[in-house]
Structure 1
Amino acid sequence: MTLTLQASKLNLHDVKTKFNLRQDEADKFFTQLVQDAPALSEFEKQVLDRTKQQYLYLAERPLLEVTVKMVTLSPLLSLAGFYDPPFYTTLEDSIEVVSQDGAETVRGQLDVLVLQNAIWVVVVEAKSIQYDVMIALPQALTYMMASPATNKELFGMITNGREFRFIRLNQAPQPTYILSKVFSLSEIENHLYEVLQILKCLGQLVLTHTTRSA
């Protein structure tokens, strides 16, 4: 008999155990991406400065998840090119993934999923500002493990609107993930600059990989 679980109910220990998943503590990948990323244009900086200003104003009151998506995520995904061909974005897709021993099936809903030729590029789990951004990690990892592209790198981003953190997942030979540092709108400098640079770099990595595989 297969037990069905909701992805939103799983904690990090559950996810790591069910999928034999381990974390690599090294964070050189995302650090290097930011160092090598092209500089942003003045227009991009102006949009991100206004986005941060608007978010901080709205965050003085309780924010719903849908508001977080509109205020912070939409400008980032747009500037990163994820609303343009060949990328396309789907909302609230159902996923299903079976644990390694086949005894449990996990079902859940994706908040935002950006795809290109069936490759998962960015999985965004937008959680309320009142929760730590890491509360979204177990759910995001579960969704990324559901990808059929088991021989490719998968990239994700989790956010509560105020904080952003990136994930890199390799499923073979053993599922392993690394995390970026936390990028926070609570800091004086605008960390949205670095968030956008990473998003643009991840999009280019996937496009390059797809071109080589064609």
Structure 2
Amino acid sequence: MVEVIQAHNVSLAYLEARFGLQQTEGEDFFIEWFETLPEITDIEKQYLDRVKTNFMRLVKHPPILENAVKMVVLSPLLDLAGFYREPFFLTTEESLEIVLEDEEEIIRGRIDVLVIKEKLWLLVIESKRASFSILAAIPQALAYMLGNHNPDKPVFGCVTNGEDFQFIKLIKQDKPKYALSDKFTLSKRENELYQVLRILRKLSQSLS
């Protein structure tokens, strides 16, 4: 009998056991999140300051659901990074099933935001409500990234709850390997949305 596993219930231990997934700490594996990042303008910084202010206002009136996170924080970032324009195509709530080789288990879920270029998966984004830890969202994002049908190309991920952001890079060749960026948070005095936008823009430029 085939067992259906919801993607939000998978753990890193499960992915390591079933897919041979390995985390790498080598800095040269995931340089896209810190090396030669593009600058952003003062006007863009002012806009991101407003985005942060809008989100912090929402925090005062919980609960903050996933849709609010997408509207208030994620959508402006994707727009500024250029992911709403050619050559990219953006889909939401993309259904996904991963059938394990022994066909005894199926991982099923819906990708919150998926950025595609000519049918190639580029960026998987998992958005959670503000009270949700992004640490718990990483296995779910990785499960979706493992479902990429183009194993020769790296795929990038981003998990966010509106307050915190973390980026992921996955390469599936041979045994799948992944690495994580540092975590960026709006709880600091400095607006770390600046850095988040710079990373997203670097990805859009390098993947276009």
Task: Provide TM-score, normalisation by structure 2.
Answer: 0.94
Who is 1:173 aligned against?
Answer: 174
Do the aligned partners of 1:34 and 1:194 also contact (CA within 8 Å) in 2?
Answer: no
Structure 1 runs not aligned, ≥5 long: 208-214
Do the aligned partners of 1:34 and 1:197 also contact (CA within 8 Å) in 2?
Answer: no
**CA distance in 2 between partners of 1:46 and 1:27 (Å):** 32
Q: 1:67 to 1:141 in 2, by over 3 A?
A: same
Do the aligned partners of 1:153 and 1:170 also contact (CA within 8 Å) in 2?
Answer: yes
Q: State how 1:167-206 maps to structure 2 within 5 Å.
A: 167-206=168-207
**CA distance in 1 between partners of 2:164 and 2:132 (Å):** 10
User: Secondary structure of the residue that 1:92 maps to in structure 2?
Assistant: strand
Q: In the TM superposition, what whole-angstrom CA distance separates every residue of 1:22-69 from its partner, at most 9, and x where no partner exists?
A: 111234555664341121012211111110111111111211111011
Q: State how 1:13-24 maps to structure 2 within 5 Å.
A: 13-24=13-24
- Over the aligned positions, Cα root-mean-square deviation in angstroms equals 1.5
Do the aligned partners of 2:6 and 2:108 also contact (CA within 8 Å) in 1?
Answer: yes
Do the aligned partners of 1:31 and 1:180 also contact (CA within 8 Å) in 2?
Answer: no
Indicate the larger mover: 194-203 or 72-81: 194-203
Q: Which amino acid aligns with 2:66?
A: E
**CA distance in 1 between partners of 2:135 and 2:92 (Å):** 21
Q: State how 1:144-163 maps to structure 2 within 5 Å.
A: 144-163=145-164
Who is 1:34 aligned against?
Answer: 34
Who is 1:57 aligned against?
Answer: 57
Do the aligned partners of 1:80 and 1:196 also contact (CA within 8 Å) in 2?
Answer: yes
Asked whether 1:137 is paired with 2:163, we answer no
**CA distance in 2 between partners of 1:187 and 1:56 (Å):** 12
**CA distance in 1 between partners of 2:175 and 2:74 (Å):** 31
**CA distance in 1 between partners of 2:204 and 2:117 (Å):** 9
Indicate the larger mover: 75-84 or 5-14: 5-14
Who is 2:99 aligned against?
Answer: 98
**CA distance in 2 between partners of 1:164 and 1:104 (Å):** 30
**CA distance in 1 between partners of 2:101 and 2:173 (Å):** 13
Q: In the TM superposition, what whole-angstrom CA distance separates every residue of 1:157-198 from its partner, at most 9, and x where no partner exists?
A: 000110000000000121000000000000111111111111
Task: Provide TM-score, normalisation by structure 1.
Answer: 0.91
Identity %: 43
Shift of 1:4: 1.7
Q: In the TM superposition, what whole-angstrom CA distance separates every residue of 1:98-150 from its partner, at most 9, and x where no partner exists?
A: 23444311110111111111222221111111121111111111111111111
**CA distance in 2 between partners of 1:6 and 1:156 (Å):** 19
Do the aligned partners of 2:32 and 2:203 also contact (CA within 8 Å) in 1?
Answer: no
Who is 1:212 aligned against?
Answer: none
**CA distance in 2 between partners of 1:139 and 1:33 (Å):** 20
Aligned residues: 207
**CA distance in 2 between partners of 1:73 and 1:113 (Å):** 13
Indicate the larger mover: 168-177 or 98-107: 98-107
Shift of 1:5: 1.3
Asked whether 1:164 is paired with 2:155, we answer no
